[in-house]
Amino acid sequence: MTPIDHPSAWLGSRIDYRAEGLHTLNAAEVAEIDAALAHLRRQGDLDVPAITPATFPLPTLAATFRALGNNLRDGRGFVLLRGLPRERYDVDDMARIYFGIGCHIGRVVPQSWHGELLGNVVDVSDVEAEARGYQAGGAQRFHTDTCDIVSLMCLRGAKSGGVSRIASAAAIHNRLLETRPDLAATLYGEYVYRRMERDASLGNNRLIKRVVIFSRETGGFTCNTSGSYPNRAVAAGDAVMTPLQVEALDEMERLAASPEFHLDMSIAEGDIQFLNNRVLLHGRTGYEDWPEIPRRRHLLRLWLYCDDWPMFPANQGVHDFDDHRGWIRQRTPFMEFPSRYLAAMTARQAA
């Protein structure tokens, strides 16, 4: 219950991401990425788990990307990588490059019971019966995922809108200490989460989890939150949230969504965003999309763990490594490649 004194405790109204966290690749860096892609392609048609620092070598950029990871931990908590010439590569080569860069920063983990190591973030809610939040269109509330770094690469922009919106959980924490310390204390207490049923049954088989939103267990401040999981627990009769617990979640969302706190970041085609998932909340604005699936707003997503960061608190987040071990068994070869994914979804739409 003391203020967070860290560069990640920023107010979006006072900073410019272009000055604070933009890295534009120069010609030599793009050439090194091209050489790594060529090296990878010479190994044959490799699936994404076979993309490693050895098969996607970056002799000088590897150190740059390691430093990027340190900056995410010790600095503002966000980096936008720009300068990759989107028009030069097809969607599958973009995926190979993205995964190759990601594996130089952290360890890639699966994102759901499907076992996908590379998420396709595109609105397929009209053809996918059990669409998750990242498979549906429209605005997205502020939340965190369960990883150290969450990352997005933009393959195709929306018809209009769809801006990435981020906010500092550390800054929200500090404001609550000033104005509503009772709500801050509540967020350090336990909430009951009800997970998605298949995530649980195909993972560690634990459907209910008790979590804290704010934690100092690792020595530094960490935040992990989602509005949907505690509400699922209440709806299923697993828990009853107190009025203070409800108010604390609502006030977090209200502050994050306010112009004072949030920072809008335009991710153009070819850009890659990296966020420190432990201290930043993320969401997106509403957007207008195209009716044809291959033309829709399409981003790729990575969840990364960094072995040199402190361990993720056991009482935070909804997933763990036992889940990852179970989920990866559901994965099928090459399932994440965008061309295959779009072809499958387009076939469903036609049917």
What would the 3-class secondary structure string for 246-312 be? Answer: HHHHHHHHHHHHCCCCCEEECCCCCCEEEEECCCEEEEECCEECCCCHHHCCEEEEEEEECCCCCCC
Contact 317/177 with Cβ under 8 angstroms?
Answer: no
Domains of the chain: which residue ranges?
12-350
Say if residues 157 and 274 touch (Cβ distance below 8 Å): no
The DSSP bridge partners found for residue 90 are: none
**Is residue 269 packed enough to be buried (19+ CB in 10 Å), middle (13-18) or exposed (0-12)?**
middle
pLDDT value of position 133 = 74
Read off the pLDDT band of 279 (50, 70, 90).
Answer: very high
SS3 content of the chain, % helix, strand, coil (to 5): 40, 20, 40
**Yes or no: is domain 12-350 CATH 3.60.130.10?**
yes
CA-closest candidate to residue 245, choices 192, 194, 178, 317: 192
Furthest CA-CA distance within the chain: 60
- pLDDT above 90: residue 349: no
Res. 287 pLDDT band, cuts 50 70 90: very high
E strands, the chain, where? 22-24, 78-82, 107-108, 119-122, 140-143, 149-156, 160-161, 164-168, 190-194, 208-212, 214-215, 222-223, 263-265, 272-276, 280-284, 287-288, 298-305
Tell me how far apart the alpha carbons of residues 40 and 44 are, in angstroms, rounded to a whole number. Answer: 7
State the amino acid at position 211 in one-letter form. V
Three-class SS state of 160: strand
pLDDT digits (tens, 9 = 90+) for 5-51: 999 999 999 999 999 999 999 999 999 999 999 999 999 999 999 99
At residue 148, does pLDDT exceed 80?
A: yes
The structure tokens listed for 293 are 């699936």
CA atoms of 29 and 27, how far apart (whole Å): 5
**Whole-angstrom distance, CA of residue 200 vs CA of residue 202:** 6
What is the predicted pLDDT for the residue at 226? 86
In the three-class reduction of DSSP (H, G, I as helix; E, B as strand; rest coil), residue 59 is classed as coil
Taking only the tens place, the pLDDT of each residue in 312-347 is: 888 998 999 999 999 999 999 999 999 999 998 999
Give the CA-trace dihedral at 233, 235, 238, 239, to 10 degrees: 80
pLDDT digit string (tens) for 54-112? 999 999 999 999 999 899 999 999 999 999 999 999 999 999 999 999 999 999 999 99
Residue 330 neighbours by CB under 8 Å, 6+ apart:
113, 114, 115, 202
- Residue 249 carries which side chain, given as an amino acid letter? L
The pLDDT of 171-199, averaged and rounded, is 97
Provide the pairing of β-strand 298-305 with 214-215: unpaired
Q: What pLDDT score does 174 carry?
A: 98
Residue 131 pLDDT grade (very low, low, confident, very high; cuts 50, 70, 90): confident
| Contact criterion met (CB below 8 Å) for 342 and 290 | no
Structure-token pair, residue 230:
């505690």
